Amino acid sequence: MFGSSTQRDVKHRIAQARSQEKIEQLATIAERERIARDLHDLIGHSLSSIALKAELADKYIELNQQDNAQQEIKQVAQLSRDILSEVRHAVSGLKKYNLADSLNKLIVELRQHKFTVQCDNTLPTISAKIESTLSLILTEAITNILRHSHGNKVSIVLSSNNQQISLAINDNGKCGSFVQGNGLQGISERCQQLNGTVSIDTKSGFALNITLPENE
């Protein structure tokens, strides 16, 4: 009897150990995926901004507008310092993204590149997790607009209704053939993690619509 009881106990412990090992493996994979998404969004946006500003500085030099060129180069240097800090925080998992700050920064950047921006943000206080998710989604969406849009107007609407948070981003560019890359795939994955939905329409410019449960 004691031998049978001991065997059951050993088998139970082995099963628990294997289960714990599986949980740890899944947690490691999830953390790697999180870091990959964060780095893609952060580095992709910052490098796009650096490239655009470097090209603009080169144009100013050709036009012999040295003061303007120098200003763009200073901004490139600051962006480089910022990205180093953000990458360190993203890898450590300590980075918390303030939605209002991210939104203001992105609007300024759009206007620097001659976009007219209309923004309507009526969100109530939201959880830090949703705030970080929305900040990263906004960053990736605006990065795509800066890279690919041939328009000059962007609309950003953040709202809440019936326990649902909504984000709508539209531009007036021409998308042509549309292929969903890593950036938009990352947006979809972030939304899925919070039980949200994503829809993309390219019939008239680029339109991204996202809904997230307010209580996630």
- Give the residue among 209, 189, 167, 202 at the shortest CA–CA distance from 33: 189
Task: Enumerate residues 6+ apart whose C-beta is below 8 A from 20.
Answer: none
Residue 172 DSSP symbol: -
27-47 pLDDT tens trace: 556 656 666 666 666 676 777
- Give the domain ranges of the chain: 1-95, 97-216
Instruction: Tell me which long-range contacts 25-31 makes (C-beta under 8 A, separation of at least 24).
Output: 31/93
Q: Which CATH number fits domain 97-216: 3.40.30.10, 3.30.565.10, 3.30.930.10, 3.40.50.970?
A: 3.30.565.10
Give me the pLDDT at residue 94, please. 46
Which positions of the chain have pLDDT values less than 70?
1-42, 44, 88-97, 176-182, 216
Give me the pLDDT at residue 204, please. 81
Give me the pLDDT at residue 92, please. 57
Structure-token pair, residue 98:
């303030």
Tell me, what amino acid is at 147? R
166-193 pLDDT tens trace: 999 999 987 766 666 667 888 888 888 8
Give me the pLDDT at residue 117, please. 95
- Give the residue among 180, 93, 104, 105 at the shortest CA–CA distance from 129: 93
